[in-house]
Chain A
């Protein structure tokens, strides 16, 4: 440094030191949190975009990756297939979810508790397990439904073939209609009966009122649910891998997987992932516009009496429909999964001499990896939930107390992973953090980091909502009495938010234990999770062992979640139980 520069720099340095002295220690923590956010979200995304534009060896700017990604008819066809899948799933999920949500929220349909429980069942079933269940049900020749059909009619062929686009649409729709249900149900619960009364007075019947008044009022919520279902469908990897391959078609996710075959072509995968990213961003923008519109003032949550509509005999029809959907989504696939898990050979059917615990014994004692894999799954799920909530809470605190400028950037970063399909996130993480200098490949850390990123929006939404409900006065009292910010958080905020946080923990934990698409490129042999092991085992089509592993996953997840819900006294939509 030249002497002149030295002199010039000195006062600046001194003033910086002086300023640093006034910074609270907690400020450093906030800055660290922000750095973490950039590390988790911005950096893998940027890495993804950059590598899609680079020559892998030289790092030179190129569009060649895009040419290779889109230069083949098959690759373009996969894109179209994904769109078809997404639209089909959204429509079918709407057809399943909206009527049930309406019946549960607005009518006197009986057995609502049971219907809710079934929807919860569909919510916690991972799509790849639903796919296994439906392969057992609707395999073109051996599936239960087809076997019954052939036995009953003497036909030479079955009637349903799961290995087809409609089959895949059905499987994905039954696992994603709960989104439509939850969105629609929540909105309907806020619509008061006044509008409906007005329609009645003006002479409209029940159905006309429903179609012309009630449903249009909650249209934005329905569309929100449909958009989520669409995005779930196009980003999904597991179910398409099980169904599309024997059905002889590809979707974007399975095609992305192919780019990871030898030789690994991350840069082409990145280029090919771009439409997925763009579609998602565009749809979220659309959803925001829809939900942000103010033209639906009656959905205000204030005042208004809400009465249930008496359906008369129609309530049994509605119950029948809800029962039918639950049959497709939960009862049938779960029955055949359980049968297969305890069967010597699933094709031999329901008989005592076909019963065995062999599949479980094999997994727990003979397989060298299953024990560790099961432990990994729940340890990573738990760690993910804790880490995501800690981070989300810190950010929500910074945002709600406006401790730093640009808080909306923080919010945006926290919510951004919502628009990143899991498999794309995994590619970004692989490109950014698998190689040196961090060299995280094969460690549990990279798996947990990816999961934290993926589920941060859930944790953040819950934390931010909780934070908004607490006025700053109480912590200000602590601070006036000489306590620091961290003390205030520990002694005031955390106890007040306990139930909120426990609920958020469960909401992150459940999807983290079943996550496949963001794990698939990141796990090593020591860090495998159940979903990946299921995927590996499914290569051989050994459905008995596969089902047994699925049953273990579901039983443990449900048990942990049930204990959690019992502790906080709320159900899965975080309603207070009566």
Chain B
């Protein structure tokens, strides 16, 4: 009996192992196609990058799902180069980068933060590798030329508005403008991200401090919002029914989730939705310089933009239009602080935030 049991168990194990192997094999097979290079320059980069074999991308530009989809599409576009996609919030990504700088062991090749101040700092400390992708000239005009010296380039953009759970709240009861969040009726009902983690929330806080002063946050704290870390956490909180209103709702993640059937809706405040313009740059000391350059090119291709809009973020390229019915930056009033204001403002609001919210 024992032997019978053992045999069958072993068979099951073997069978399971074979299935997993098959799954992996199929997956690999699906990825091994012809490269989709477009220009001689990119072909050249690709040949050199193949020898490097991989690259590591720290990204805060989107949720994990979108980031991994971009990584996988890059791998499909350039077979033989593995993309290691590590999605965290901007400040955590930068914390790891700082640790690597301090230890003198750069692990990351391309950094995509959402706190533009990081690039101002890194460029100033000569920690970025200048590279102007040929695709940089083909993006929409508003995203061109953020850094005249070509150390970093805008590779994604997104909107922050408010959001609410449509099952728990009727449209006419929902807040309309940012200042409506201060109404005591939202006590214990608001979800919010943390500027000490999320670059989106940091930029948002800088913008709203400019509009309404820090008193806005002191009053908001009285409504006892649930403080998460990533801005995307607010969407999860609304879905779970933990909170009803998101004070910081990322248009991309929320709309993606609503499309899947979750009861969610965006609010674009009349005072302006906050437009986040987020760059990427290559780190000095990268071990995969060609793969990193190729990846910078990739982030600005129409294919990448198609993935972005598929996940309800902004398109970088004029030839890729958002699908009908999807709100993008040109449809609503947007506001954004200057690079200078963000670079000095985010460290300040993080400090103020910690005093006001206690964490």
Contacts and interface: CB of A to CB of B under 8 A. Distances in A.
Interface string A540-553: 11110100000000
Interface stretch (A298-306, A361-369, A569-577): A361-369
Give the interface centre of B103, B236, B239, B241 by most chain A CB atoms within 10 Å.
B103
B84 A541 contact: no
A162 to B, nearest CB: 11
A369 B85 contact: yes
Interface string A234-275: 000000000011101110000000101111101000000000
Nearest to B101: A264
B240 interface: yes
Interface string B46-71: 00000000001010000111001101
Contacts of B104: 435-436, 439, 441
B95 A368 contact: no
B105 interface: yes
A540 B233 CA distance: 4
A245 B227 contact: yes
Interface stretch (A192-200, A475-483, A519-527): A519-527
A141 B242 contact: yes
Contacts of A264: 95, 98-99, 102
Interface string A438-455: 010110000000000000
A139 interface: yes
A418 interface: no
B240 A346 contact: yes
Interface stretch (B272-280, B297-305, B351-359): B351-359
Size bracket of the A interface: 35 or more
A270 B236 CA distance: 35
Give the interface centre of B87, B99, B107, B358 by most chain A CB atoms within 10 Å.
B99
B91 A262 contact: yes
Interface in B196-233: 196-197, 226-230, 232-233
Nearest to B83: A368
Interface string A482-506: 0000000000000000000000000
Interface in A280-296: none
A441 B236 contact: no
A142 interface: yes
A128 interface: no
A368 B239 contact: no
Contact of A540 (B64, B108, B194): B64
Contacts of B230: 539-541
A178 interface: no
B64 A367 contact: yes
B284 interface: no
Contacts of A543: 236, 240
A249 B105 contact: no
B103 A441 contact: yes
B241 A347 contact: yes
Given A74-B354, A244-B359, A142 B240 contact: yes
A429 B243 CA distance: 40
B92 interface: yes
B359 to A, nearest CB: 5
B152 interface: no
B72 interface: yes
B64 A537 contact: yes
Contacts of A261: 91, 95, 196
A76 interface: no
A486 B142 CA distance: 72
A262 B243 contact: no
A421 interface: no
A324 B88 CA distance: 38
Given A441-B99, A441-B103, A525 B86 contact: yes
B308 interface: no
A181 interface: no
Interface in B63-120: 63-65, 68-69, 71-72, 75, 82-89, 91-92, 94-95, 98-100, 102-105, 107-108
A541 B98 contact: no
Contacts of A436: 104
A246 B226 contact: yes
B227 A246 contact: yes
B237 interface: yes
A430 interface: yes
B270 interface: no
Contacts of B58: 525
Contacts of A258: 196
B89 A262 contact: no
Give the interface centre of B102, B197, B230 by most chain A CB atoms within 10 Å.
B102
Nearest to A345: B239
Give the interface centre of B65, B86, B240 by most chain A CB atoms within 10 Å.
B240
B84 A368 contact: yes
Contacts of B68: 366-368
A333 B194 CA distance: 27
Contact of A74 (B82, B102, B243, B358): B358
A368 B72 contact: yes
A376 B79 CA distance: 24
B177 interface: no
A369 B63 CA distance: 15
B166 interface: no
Give the interface centre of B72, B83, B87, B243 by most chain A CB atoms within 10 Å.
B87
Interface in A352-368: 362, 364-368
B27 interface: yes
A367 B105 CA distance: 25
Nearest to B241: A142
Given A141-B241, A245-B194, A539-B197, A441 B359 contact: no
Contact of B63 (A74, A263, A435, A540): A540
Contacts of B89: 539
Contacts of A539: 88-89, 92, 197, 228-230, 232-233
B17 interface: no
A248 B357 contact: yes
A184 to B, nearest CB: 36
A11 to B, nearest CB: 46
A400 B67 CA distance: 55
A362 B64 CA distance: 11
B100 A441 contact: yes
A289 B196 CA distance: 44
Give the interface centre of A249, A364, A524 by most chain B CB atoms within 10 Å.
A524
Give the interface centre of A346, A439, A539 by most chain B CB atoms within 10 Å.
A539
B184 interface: no
Give the interface centre of A248, A362, A541 by most chain B CB atoms within 10 Å.
A541
A540 B102 CA distance: 27
A442 B283 CA distance: 16
B262 interface: yes
B164 to A, nearest CB: 14
A434 interface: yes
A183 interface: no
Nearest to B100: A441
Given A139-B242, A264-B95, A369-B85, A248 B105 contact: no
* 6 closest cross-chain pairs (CB), A and B: A541-B236, A434-B103, A441-B103, A441-B105, A541-B233, A142-B242
Given A141-B242, A245-B359, A250-B358, 16 more contacts: A261-B196, A262-B95, A264-B99, A365-B27, A368-B75, A368-B85, A434-B103, A435-B103, A435-B105, A441-B103, A441-B105, A442-B100, A524-B107, A528-B86, A539-B233, A540-B233
7 contacts: A262-B98, A368-B84, A435-B104, A436-B104, A528-B86, A541-B232, A543-B236
